[in-house]
Structure 1
């Protein structure tokens, strides 16, 4: 497979806020049809197959993950978005749906997650 015929692969887990961030960017930027999206549900046989596929290429398998170019794998949602933003010549800051999610629901989810982690840490120390 040459890079001229290579289609990036994005691995997205259901109910993952980071995966939704990538999906929203791909949809709003018009790039969703330019990538192969491999969706799966947590704890499914499909997830195990995808983890086995990614394991040789990543230090730690997490999601979202993507093979952006032949042999180039990344796992950070911001890195995946930045790659596709550059490819499409799109500035995510000017994308209404993406920004509403990142600055709204996603930001609140991350704040609550961090607070929960701090509460767990405090409870285990007590």
Structure 2
């Protein structure tokens, strides 16, 4: 009897723009059957359990997170995508949906988030 092949485990938080970036890559690359996705909603018992499961592997747990190989944990969306792209032999730059998200909506959301952080910092200094 052969040992089952390890599938990367992706931990994806609902409404997280970084998690959506990873999910879009996996979908467009046709890798849904090649990974295990553990979706969860923020502030739930399931999130607490996932954080407890991941905490021994990270100084600070953030999402998305992934166990890409047995014992190899990563928590940066770009690093997760790069690993999966290599595994699938896909170039994210040539993936239309992924690129439209990362170059469009995602970029604008990050710009607005940074502006909001700067405004909060300025307001707290007054």
| Class of the TM-score when normalised by the shorter of the 2 chains | over 0.9
**CA-to-partner distance for each residue in 1:41-93, whole Å, 9 max, x for gaps?**
00011101100100111111000000000000000000000000011111101
Aligned length: 125
Give secondary structure in 1 for the equivalent of 2:12.
Answer: strand
Deviation at 1:5, TM superposition (A): 1.8
Structure 2 residue ranges without an equivalent (≥5): none
Cα distance between partner residues in 1 of 2:109 and 2:101 = 10
Q: Tell me whether 1:21 sits opposite 2:21 in the alignment.
A: yes
Give secondary structure in 2 for the equivalent of 1:73.
Answer: strand
Q: Tell me whether 1:125 sits opposite 2:125 in the alignment.
A: yes
Name the counterpart of 1:105: 105
Give secondary structure in 1 for the equivalent of 2:59.
Answer: coil
Name the counterpart of 1:52: 52
TM-score (norm 1): 0.96
Deviation at 1:3, TM superposition (A): 8.8
Cα distance between partner residues in 2 of 1:87 and 1:4 = 18
Name the counterpart of 2:116: 116
Name the counterpart of 1:77: 77
RMSD over equivalenced CA pairs, Å:
1.4
